[in-house]
Amino acid sequence: MSRRTVLKAGATLLLSVTVPLRANAAQILAVRVWPADDYTRVTLENDTDLKATHFIVKDPERMVVDIEGLELNPTLKSLVAKIQSNDPYIKQVRVGQNRPNVVRLVFDLKEEVKPQVFTLPPAGNYKHRLIFDLYPVKAVDPIAAMIEKGDWSGDEKVANVAPATPKEQLEQLKPDLKAEPREELKTELKTADAQAQSKTRADQPGKIVRMITIALDPGHGGEDPGASGKNGSHEKDIVLAIAKRLKGKLEEQANIRVMLTRDGDYFVPLGTRVDKARKVQADLFVSIHADAFVQPTARGSSVFVLSEKGATSSAARWLADKENSADTIGGVNVKSHDKQLASVLFDLSTTAQINDSMKLGRSVLGEIGGINRLHKGSVEQAGFAVLKAPDIPSILIETAFISNPEEEAKLLDDAYQNKLADAIVTGIRRYFAKNPPLAKNRLT
């Protein structure tokens, strides 16, 4: 608001006029882009809360965003160079000062998208964030994606598992798909089942097998780096590398296919990780992490399963709380996030699921103990949100302490990652040898 001050000095009348002062414009501190098949996320980190409006323009597809209280700066201009040519949804972005105190972003799109634009309060090492999540109008089908990325040949060995016919396998898929599987999916499943049955008849007459599906969950990703090591390594990168190694080794086994909850550096909310596993009718869920503690001397590997009655130790409770904060760090749109998901899944969790998870956890922990010191000699329990699938045996593996310089070096070592993956594979095989997966109806 302008003001007028009258000053009298002797016989002279002085008028002092001040013009309206514009508030200091917000400062963009960093820009980040996280492209993935699931969705592309663009993050603007800034020193204050920003107000943005957006709209879609057709022919060609564009998304226009106007951000108020902002002046164009070099950091924001750098967003243009951060769009990669292989981004699934963004062709390019244009940035300009639309009018005083308003910056306009124009995203040229490769296809029609469903945008979510929201802000996040300061969390972890981040200040205020303005988020643009660009989802495809037609969501990625996790089953189709898994089949497309898989490499399962007819020369597989026969697994010692319970029978399931092609019709039963398709029936198991229907509850979560909410629709009849596409023709190409039917063909893929029938072909895989026919190949397995043909091999069975030749080698073990009268025995029929089905594919075993394992969901591997590399923790953190994208905006959420997870724990960090003294030498600058990030948990999200290490666990993704281990998960990819583990996927390759598992798919060398008989009749096993693997779905990764993320196969790149992007953030997946905790509830979505569980949902992905259930949509592909996973027989097991294995979440992979690298622990950290305030004391660099902490060391050892651990395996955790869900607890409905509280954590088995204060350390387990502390770790579960830390891992459950991933959604806050990674950034979830609270308007679209199902706040009841965690509690509903928790209520549905059964003693049978936890008992099966304990069996799996013991088998894996026993094998990991052969290559690394164990932080605790038994499977621990706590309320990890990512382990709350009501119908899938689920474990969380803390591979080692990334905060321990010696163990950080191990985690970055190819040979150690291979040994770790081999140990987990052996533990899973031991579990299935005693607990063959049965054809069963899933909770929906």
Domain final residue, candidates 136, 162, 189: 136
pLDDT of residue 310: 77
Helix (H, G, I), strand (E, B) or coil at 318: helix
Residue 252 CA to residue 275 CA, distance in Å, equals: 26
pLDDT band at residue 24, thresholds of 50, 70 and 90?
A: low
How many Cα atoms sit within 13 Å of 243 on the Cβ side?
A: 31
Considering the chain, what percentage of its residues have pLDDT values greater than 90? Answer: 61
Among the candidates 79, 101, 136, a domain finishes at 136
Co-location of 172 and 131 in the same domain: no
- Residue identified by tokens 């980040």 is 32
User: Is 309 contained in some domain?
Assistant: yes
Same domain, 240 and 293: yes
- Mean pLDDT of the region 131-160: 71
pLDDT at res. 76: 95
Determine contact, residues 120/331, Cβ cutoff 8 Å: yes
Q: Is residue 388 part of a domain?
A: yes
**How confident is residue 183, by pLDDT bands cut at 50, 70 and 90?**
low
Contact predicate 397/243, CB 8 Å: no
Confidence of residue 22 (pLDDT cuts 50, 70, 90): very low
Q: Are residues 32 and 67 in the same domain?
A: yes
85 CB-near residues (< 8 Å, 6+ apart): none
Nearest-angstrom CA–CA distance, 13 and 112: 66
Same domain, yes or no, for 98 and 166?
Answer: no
Q: Is the pLDDT of residue 62 over 70?
A: yes
3-state class of 256 per DSSP? strand
User: How does the average pLDDT of the chain come out, rounded?
Assistant: 82
Let me know whether 226 and 113 are in one domain: no
Same-domain status, 52 and 200 = no
Q: Are residues 182 and 205 in the same domain?
A: yes
Domain identity same for 272 and 416: yes
Q: For residue 44, is it within any domain?
A: yes
- Paired with 105 in beta bridges are 65, 95
33 inside domain: yes
Check which CATH number belongs to the domain holding 107 and give it.
Answer: 2.60.40.3500
Residue 23 lies in a domain: no
- Determine, yes or no, domain membership for 22: no
Quick check: helix, strand or coil at residue 15? strand
Q: Which residue has the tokens 């709350």?
A: 388
**Beta sheet of 62-68, edge-to-edge order:** 51-57, 62-68, 102-109, 90-99
Residue 353 lies in a domain: yes
Tens digit of each residue's pLDDT (9 = 90 or more) over 361-371: 999 999 999 99
Q: What is the pLDDT of residue 182?
A: 45
CA 246 to chain centre: 17
Token representation of residue 88: 């699934």
Q: Are residues 233 and 351 in the same domain?
A: yes
- Read off the amino acid at residue 244: K
Of the residues 113, 136, 159, which one is the last residue of a structural domain? 136
Which percentage of the chain shows pLDDT scores above 70? 76
Domain that holds residue 132: 28-136
CATH number assigned to the domain comprising residue 335 = 3.40.630.40
234: which DSSP letter? B
For residue 146, name the pLDDT band (cuts at 50, 70, 90).
Answer: confident
Q: Are residues 266 and 392 located together in one domain of the fold?
A: yes
46 bridge partner residues: 28, 128
**What confidence score (pLDDT) does residue 199 get?**
46
Query: Are residues 212 and 349 both part of a single domain?
Result: yes
Q: Mention every residue, 6+ apart, whose C-beta is less than 8 A from residue 383.
A: 306, 307, 308, 310, 311, 317, 320, 324, 346
Do 381 and 243 share a structural domain?
Answer: yes
Indicate whether 21 belongs to any domain.
no
How many structural domains does the chain have? 2
